[in-house]
Amino acid sequence: MTREKITLFDTTLRDGQQTPGIDFSVEDKIAIAAMLDAFGIDYVEGGYPGANPTDTAFFSKKRTGRARFTAFGMTKRAGISASNDPGLAALLQSKSDAVCLVAKSWDYHVKVALGCTNDENLDAIRDSVEAVTASGKEALVDCEHFFDGYKANPDYALACAKTAYQAGARWVVLCDTNGGTQPPEVREIIAAVIASGVPGASLGIHAHNDTGQAVANSLAAVEAGVRQIQGTLNGIGERCGNADLTTIIPTLCLKPIYADRFETGIDTDKLQDLTRLSHGFDELLNRSPFAQAPYVGASAFATKAGIHASALLKDPKTYEHVEPGLVGNFRKVMVSDQGGKANFINELKRRGIPVAKDDPKLDRLIEIVKQREASGYAYEGADGSFELLAHRTLGSVPDFFAVESFRVMIERRFDSNGNLKTVSEAVVKMVIDGQAVMSVAEGDGPVNALDIALRKDLGKFQNEIEDLELADYKVRILNGGTEAITRVLIESTDATGARWWTVGVSENIIDASFQALMDAIVYKLMKNRQLAGRIAAE
Ligand SMILES: CC(=O)SCCNC(=O)CCNC(=O)[C@H](O)C(C)(C)COP(=O)(O)OP(=O)(O)OC[C@H]1O[C@@H](n2cnc3c(N)ncnc32)[C@H](O)[C@@H]1OP(=O)(O)O
Ligand SMILES: CC(=O)C(=O)O
């Protein structure tokens, strides 16, 4: 059976640009357009030429190879002709292949926002579409507020869609601009549009996520007959965002209910790039990927619960809806107080630490982890500390050095120029090979001072930790009030590029930091001796 094509339209660079806190430069746009083009998206909407210098510069050249490079802008204003409308002229002059015109389709908006008559708006839609097609570009029309408009005045909303179609728009896109429409309403209204004479093969859906239904509404629209989906990478977009293409694409490709009937043009190899695409985009935005994102999140195939892990390790299908590798993601079985023997054996094996299921030391390790997690530790995010704890419980860790004491002082004083300054100083006393060593250091803050002092003189191990760097530091207060417990997580890295997290917990933030710093150093010394960090490929 031949499958019908679902056309993928990406508006990351246009609606995504309307996300609070997101502001792309021309260079960002060039990089993102290239990523989308290479992935196999059919249309890349790049922005609004004429509205701002960035978008005008971006559209001074064609930026995609395979994908249709699409400019966005509004229909001509009422009262002037299409040929005299400067906004429309900027769209036609841009180096785009297609123009997506936003048109009002709710009579209330025509009256309130445009201040013109319903017929003048229909004329604006018709004349603008004709001007685009006459220029040799493909025309698309985003019918803004289509679903709300249909509920208020079905005849007028349908007239807008039909006018766009009859004027020559290749795609008439039904927009749930305010994001409040529900999937059954989407199905019903699209059936009415198709019955009015606009074929499903010319219809698209543009859904916002204000009730968390953008993906569901997009899929409902496909079921009802539309054949183009508009969305964004990682669901960015105005307010709560747009339909997330990183969820929609794998659903269309991997779920038989869609995959048996439709094709997206994204083949198996490309689909395996999906997680990389999603994370690469977040990297460009300088933000952490959302761990619980469907398909592509770090937790999407992570199993914490012991009962799940036990079955998953017998057959992954027991707790996975699709195989993680199909979208370029990984299975992860975590150790925590929610874990049973299966979680621990799997994680230890991954780290090259053999242990038998009936080894009483394994029961002891599980007991320690559960007790410690109850007191505030979190080992699922502290792989380095977990590995050290496992070595200490199941085998041994060399006594590289012993810390006799440490002291941290914070002083607010005037410096020699008379400026008030807060100074942190740390003193650490250690014993290495029977020899007492004392280090004193100043730092930007107390933890920094302690870190510098700890690593200032490690005797015969000093040259081994020269490349050790503190990459990240996170503090969490676990319960409020005077009983507050502090959990510190520290990420370390070294010249090999390896990264590991260590944890410390105490009523005192300096003490918690000290524990995490100590684990970071001991892990590094173990790693140098290939006693730790031997992680099997996932
Ligand atoms: C649902 C959506 O996401 S639509 C996309 C929205 N995106 C953006 O608005 C981002 C880019 N926009 C801009 O930079 C500016 O709004 C511009 C350059 C487009 C226009 O700026 P200005 O000319 O200063 O107008 P302003 O933004 O104040 O108001 C919008 C104008 O467009 C008119 N307009 C809005 N939609 C349409 C439409 N579909 N067709 C014709 N005119 C429209 C409004 O009536 C208003 O006209 P008015 O100034 O006579 O009252
Ligand atoms: C066009 C658009 O972005 C919307 O209606 O939401």
Instruction: From 218, 242, 266, give the residue that closes a domain.
Output: 266
pLDDT on residue 170: 98
> pTM to 2 decimals?
0.81
Pick the most confident of 248-252, 307-311, 419-423: 248-252
Decide if 275 is inside a domain: no
pLDDT on residue 288: 78
Beta strands in 41-170 (DSSP E): 43-47, 68-74, 98-104, 138-144
Decide if 185 is inside a domain: yes
Beta strands in 391-514 (DSSP E): 402-414, 420-432, 435-443, 469-477, 486-493, 499-506
Its ipTM equals 0.96
Instruction: From 240, 266, 292, give the residue that closes a domain.
Output: 266
Which residue has the least CA distance to atom 4 on ligand 2? 177
Q: Does 246 contact ligand 2 (Cβ within 6 A)?
A: no
Q: How many domains does the chain have?
A: 3
The CA 404 to ligand 1 mean position distance, Å, reads: 69
pLDDT in tens, 476-534: 888 755 678 999 999 999 999 899 999 999 999 999 999 999 999 999 999 999 999 88
Q: Residue 535: is its pLDDT beyond 80? A: no
Decide if 278 is inside a domain: no
Instruction: Mark whether 313 and 443 lie in a shared domain.
Output: no
* Domain assignment of residue 308, given as a range: 302-392
Q: Does 148 contact ligand 2 (Cβ within 6 A)?
A: no
pLDDT in tens, 442-481: 998 999 999 999 999 898 999 999 999 998 898 988 875 5
Instruction: Mark whether 365 and 414 lie in a shared domain.
Output: no
Q: Does 259 contact ligand 1 (Cβ within 6 A)?
A: no
CATH number reported for the structural domain that contains residue 39 in this entry: 3.20.20.70
Q: Does 15 contact ligand 2 (Cβ within 6 A)?
A: yes
What is d(CA 408, CA 429) in angstroms, rounded to the nearest whole number? Answer: 12
CATH number reported for the structural domain that contains residue 408 in this entry: 3.30.160
Q: Residue 116: is its pLDDT beyond 60? A: yes
DSSP string spanning 263-290? Answer: E-S--HHHHTTHHHHHHHHHHHHTS---
If DSSP codes are grouped into helix, strand and coil, which group holds residue 38?
Answer: helix
Q: List the single range of 140-149, 306-315, 394-403 with lowest mean pLDDT.
A: 306-315
If DSSP codes are grouped into helix, strand and coil, which group holds residue 171?
Answer: strand
Decide if 477 is inside a domain: no
Instruction: Mark whether 324 and 192 lie in a shared domain.
Output: no
What is d(CA 465, CA 517) in angstroms, rounded to the nearest whole number? Answer: 12
Decide if 138 is inside a domain: yes
pLDDT category of residue 307 using cuts at 50, 70 and 90: confident
Instruction: Mark whether 198 and 343 lie in a shared domain.
Output: no
Instruction: Mark whether 234 and 132 lie in a shared domain.
Output: yes
Q: Does 127 contact ligand 1 (Cβ within 6 A)?
A: no
Decide if 71 is inside a domain: yes
Instruction: Mark whether 184 and 333 lie in a shared domain.
Output: no
Report the atom number in ligand 1 closest to the C-alpha of 115.
45
Decide if 297 is inside a domain: no
Q: Residue 537: is its pLDDT beyond 60? A: no
Q: List the single range of 5-19, 217-231, 330-344, 404-418 with lowest mean pLDDT.
A: 330-344
pLDDT in tens, 372-424: 988 889 898 899 999 999 999 999 899 999 999 999 999 998 888 899 989 99
Which residue has the least CA distance to atom 18 on ligand 1? 51
In this structure, the number of other CB atoms found within 10 A of the CB of residue 344 comes to: 25
If DSSP codes are grouped into helix, strand and coil, which group holds residue 520?
Answer: helix
Distances (CA, A) of 275 to 13, 209, 289, 467: 19, 21, 10, 31
In this structure, what are the phi and psi dihedrals at residue 326, rounded to the nearest 5 degrees? -65, -25
Mean of pLDDT values over 105-128: 98
pLDDT category of residue 538 using cuts at 50, 70 and 90: very low
Residues in the chain: 538
pLDDT category of residue 208 using cuts at 50, 70 and 90: very high
Q: What mean pLDDT, rounded, does the chain reach?
A: 94
Half-sphere exposure of 366 (CA within 13 A, CB side): 20
Decide if 292 is inside a domain: no
The CA 92 to ligand 2 mean position distance, Å, reads: 20
387 Cβ partners below 8 Å, 6+ apart? 351, 353, 500, 523, 532, 533
Instruction: Mark whether 371 and 412 lie in a shared domain.
Output: no
Q: Does 437 contact ligand 1 (Cβ within 6 A)?
A: no
Instruction: Describe the crossing of helices 26-39 and 274-285 by its angle, rounded to 10 degrees.
Output: 180
**CA atoms 30, 31, 37, 41: torsion sign:** negative
Query: CB pairs under 8 A, 24+ apart, for 2-5?
Result: 3/260, 3/261, 3/262, 3/263, 4/227, 4/261, 4/262, 4/263, 5/227, 5/262, 5/263, 5/264, 5/265
The best mutation among 13, 102, 143, 148 to test binding of ligand 2, ranked by most ligand atoms within 8 Å of the C-beta, falls on 102
Percent of the chain with pLDDT over 70: 99
What is d(CA 308, CA 268) in angstroms, rounded to the nearest whole number? Answer: 28
Q: Which two tokens stand for residue 138?
A: 């493909």
Q: Residue 237: is its pLDDT beyond 60? A: yes
Least distant ligand from the CA of 177: 2
Instruction: Mark whether 378 and 315 lie in a shared domain.
Output: yes
Instruction: Mark whether 27 and 135 lie in a shared domain.
Output: yes
Instruction: Mark whether 212 and 350 lie in a shared domain.
Output: no
pLDDT in tens, 88-105: 999 999 999 999 999 999
Mean of pLDDT values over 18-26: 93
Residue 247's H or E segment, with its range, is helix 245-254
What is d(CA 301, CA 251) in angstroms, rounded to the nearest whole number? Answer: 15
Instruction: Mark whether 11 and 139 lie in a shared domain.
Output: yes
